[in-house]
Amino acid sequence: MRILYYCVAVGLLLTAAGCYPIAEYTESEAPKRLVLDATTVQVDLRFPAGSSGLGAAEAARLRKLAATGEIAPSDRVLVAAGGSPALASARVGSISAELLRYGVVASPIQLASVPSNGAIVEVVRHQVTLPACPDWSKSPKGAGDFTNTPHSNFGCAYITNLGLMVASPTDLASGRPLGPAAGTPAAAAVTRYLTDKMQPLRGSGATAGGPSGSGGEAGGGAPTTPSH
């Protein structure tokens, strides 16, 4: 009789387990990442022999590309020019100045295939594709989820906001090189710190050259009395 009871109990347990499956959810089913699609357009420009300025026709063509959005402020624009080092640098500056009128910032690059009286403008553009959000594909808590993993919608707001607010999508693919630091202000700040001549914050009423005490007093001195 006990054997019969055991068989019935095991059968009921197996039946209940079959009606109440445990979902094995993984993040690979709904990844939260931005997809970047890149396109690169090359623009060839010609300079008069020995000149650092664009001709009227080439300058007008470059301005038209910027005005119509073929070259946009959100693009990564790289410029290489031919000629001697000084002449090439001046030509890059001329192209950069033309583009800057339309809010396009160009960066110089070195290319071996630039004609001696020419320049190459590379326009790198990325398009951002947002993830499929909101994502409710994972079963909610209490409905068969015993994996103790984050919900499928977790991270949707962060990654979507990042894709929507980035000014230059190419920055998501690779960062921009930092320019040279301003050495004089940085060295002056270090000197003031080492010589204990720190400048007080504006409107703080603190005096420079001493540690701040508790209660807002500076340099351990007595608090000042406001004048009437």
Q: Per residue in 31-60, pLDDT tens?
A: 788 999 999 999 999 999 999 999 999 999
How much is the pLDDT for 217? 43
How much is the pLDDT for 1? 55
**CA–CA separation, 30 and 24 (whole Å):** 13
Helix 85-100, helix 56-67: angle, nearest 10: 40
Q: What is the pLDDT of residues 124-171, one digit of tens each?
A: 999 999 988 888 887 766 555 666 777 888 888 989 999 999 888 888
Cα 138 to chain centroid distance, Å, stands at 30
Q: What is the pLDDT of residues 54-93, one digit of tens each?
A: 999 999 999 999 999 999 998 999 999 999 999 999 999 9
Parallel, antiparallel, or unpaired for β 76-81 and 106-108?
A: parallel
Residues in contact with 166: Cβ distance below 8 Å, sequence separation at least 6, in sequence order: 128, 172
Q: Please state, rounded to an integer, the average pLDDT across all residues of the chain.
A: 79
Q: pTM value?
A: 0.60
Choose between 149 and 194: higher pLDDT: 194
Range with the poorest average pLDDT among 25-34, 41-50, 111-120? 25-34
- Confidence band of 211 (pLDDT split at 50, 70, 90): very low
User: What homologous superfamily is domain 35-129 in, according to CATH?
Assistant: OmpA-like domain (3.30.1330.60)
Residues in contact with 78: Cβ distance below 8 Å, sequence separation at least 6, in sequence order: 106, 107, 108, 109, 121, 122, 124
Asked if the model's pLDDT at residue 216 lies above 80, the reply is no
